């Protein structure tokens, strides 16, 4: 932890010299009762609003009012091709080729669509490998899909931490895949665990899954915009994500999907089809061409025309990611969480425990604090002091200093308030 200081002037100086300091001014910062910006450490749940979002949404409302249906082709950003403008920035964020990504639906709907196409049980290879305590929506999607397919929830294989531990060990995952890979049709894991904040070694997992002959997919809800991702280079089959956390696209924002190009051109895969996934050359022939002919690439899994008002804020957010660059954001993120860890260690392990891995490469920008018996009340007390965090049962407070809009002095102030609120002794 060398290089950090508990002195306030250290935090202030690092904010002044931060090359990404301009980013904070691009967001609407919620204000407390005193009119000062809240310390908002909850971007892992809902990211803040980019200032440019309002302008872009207003532009679409104005085009709707001015042009009606003609805005599909005559609007300032034509609705018909609107999603195409999101393709390349999303591809850069997840490390994909542009034709391998599409902005559509929500994370869980996209997962359901991918399961129809890429969960292909055969013989003894029927199991789906998931992590223990996966995000509930993922677990519901997997089990309900297995039941609908007549496979049954017994096909779920759960990767567990070792007894007495909270985190998965990558060596154990690799060993499990080597030992039981012949039973596994699909590996489905959260890239960053929502509860612990652990960032899995995705490249290693993907490699082990491919060696074992398994299809591999990742939930990028807490990884997109938070970690350096290389989905195509790591030979990942598919991934899905939401856009309202680190991507800052607003509540219920449109999700995203990556599908490796080896699947994007495979028209023999079963899929739940909809008209927007049809070949654009015949999309509007309607009753004269009733058969579904999927467009090449990830676009072929679209089912409906794009939700323009939900996509406009994502355009604003992605422009900021392109301007800042993920390498710089990731470097600042590691520095912020390292500083937070340094200050927490000064409080002492008897007062606060750290659930998240200590290695910077094994976590995102979230630190999960374990506070048996006092986590829920602490979150309320922090909010009274102008600090927004969140509570997860039974004893965890999640703290997410997001590099786009949080700074070192906010981390310093949080640690000071935490010191005042935690019991001593």
- Domains, the chain, in order of start with CATH, read 8-44+325-421 (3.90.1150.10), 58-322 (3.40.640.10)
* Rounded-to-10 torsion of CA 270, 275, 278, 283: 160
Distance (Å) of CA 24 to CA 257, 319, 324: 28, 14, 11
Closest CA to 191 of 399, 394, 366: 366
pLDDT tens by residue, 48-60: 999 999 999 999 9
Strands 127-131, 184-190: pairing kind: parallel
Could you count the other beta carbons within 10 Å of the beta carbon of residue 118? 21
Do the beta carbons of residue 191 and residue 223 sit within 8 Å? yes
- The Cα 234–Cα 231 span in angstroms is 5
pLDDT tens by residue, 73-118: 999 999 999 999 999 999 999 999 999 999 999 999 999 999 999 9
Q: So what's the pLDDT on residue 1?
A: 43
Q: pLDDT below 50 — which residues of the chain?
A: 1
Beta-bridge partners for 157: 129
Question: What's the residue count for the chain?
Answer: 425
- The Cα 83–Cα 90 span in angstroms is 11
Burial 138-156 (b: 16+ CB within 10 A, else e): bbebbbebbeeeebeeebb
CA end-to-end span of the chain, whole Å? 25
Q: So what's the pLDDT on residue 159?
A: 97
Helix (H, G, I), strand (E, B) or coil at 373: coil
Alpha helices in 34-135 (DSSP H): 51-67, 71-74, 84-94, 107-118
Q: Using a cut of 0.85, tell me whether the model's pTM lies above it.
A: yes
Tokens of 180: 């039981």
- The Cα 13–Cα 115 span in angstroms is 49
- The Cα 225–Cα 404 span in angstroms is 10
Q: Is the peptide bond before 10 cis (omega within 30 degrees of 0)?
A: no
């Amino acid at each position: 932890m060398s290089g950090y200081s508990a002195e306030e002037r250290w935090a202030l100086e690092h904010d002044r010299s931060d090359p990404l300091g301009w980013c904070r001014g691009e967001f609407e910062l919620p204000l407390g009762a005193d009119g000062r910006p809240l310390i908002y450490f909850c971007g892992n749940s809902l990211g803040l609003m980019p200032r440019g979002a309002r302008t872009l949404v207003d532009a679409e409302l104005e085009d709707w009012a001015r042009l009606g249906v003609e805005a599909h082709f005559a609007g300032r950003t034509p609705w018909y091709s609107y999603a195409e403008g999101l393709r390349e920035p999303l591809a850069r964020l997840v490390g994909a080729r542009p034709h391998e990504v599409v902005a559509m639906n929500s994370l869980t709907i996209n997962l359901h669509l991918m399961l129809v196409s890429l969960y292909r049980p055969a013989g003894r290879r029927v199991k789906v490998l998931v992590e223990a305590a996966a995000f509930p929506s993922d677990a519901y999607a997997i089990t309900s899909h297995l039941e609908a397919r007549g496979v049954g929830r017994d096909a779920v294989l759960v990767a567990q931490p070792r007894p007495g531990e909270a985190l998965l060990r990558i060596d154990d995952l690799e060993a499990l895949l080597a030992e039981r890979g012949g039973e596994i049709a699909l590996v489905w894991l959260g890239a960053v665990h929502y509860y612990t904040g652990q960032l899995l070694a995705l490249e290693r997992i993907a490699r082990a899954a491919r060696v074992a002959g398994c299809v591999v997919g990742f939930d990028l809800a807490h990884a997109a915009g938070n970690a350096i991702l290389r989905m195509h280079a790591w030979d990942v089959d598919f991934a899905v994500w939401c856009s309202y956390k680190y991507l800052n696209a607003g509540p219920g924002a449109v999700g995203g999907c990556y599908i490796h190009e080896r699947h994007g051109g495979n028209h023999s895969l079963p899929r739940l089809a909809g008209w927007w996934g049809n070949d654009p050359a015949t999309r509007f022939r309607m009753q004269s061409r009733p058969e579904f002919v999927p467009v090449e690439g990830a676009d072929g899994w679209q089912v409906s025309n794009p939700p323009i008002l939900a996509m406009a804020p994502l355009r604003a957010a992605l422009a900021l990611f392109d301007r800042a660059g993920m390498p710089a954001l990731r470097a600042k993120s590691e520095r912020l969480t390292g500083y937070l860890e340094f200050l927490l260690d000064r409080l002492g392990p008897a007062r606060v425990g750290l659930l998240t891995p200590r290695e910077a490469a094994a976590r995102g920008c979230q630190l999960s604090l374990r506070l048996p018996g006092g986590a829920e009340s602490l979150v309320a007390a922090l909010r009274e002091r102008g600090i927004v965090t969140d509570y997860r049962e039974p004893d965890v407070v999640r703290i997410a200093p997001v590099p786009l809009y949080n700074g070192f002095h906010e981390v310093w102030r949080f640690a000071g308030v935490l010191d005042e609120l935690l019991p001593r002794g």
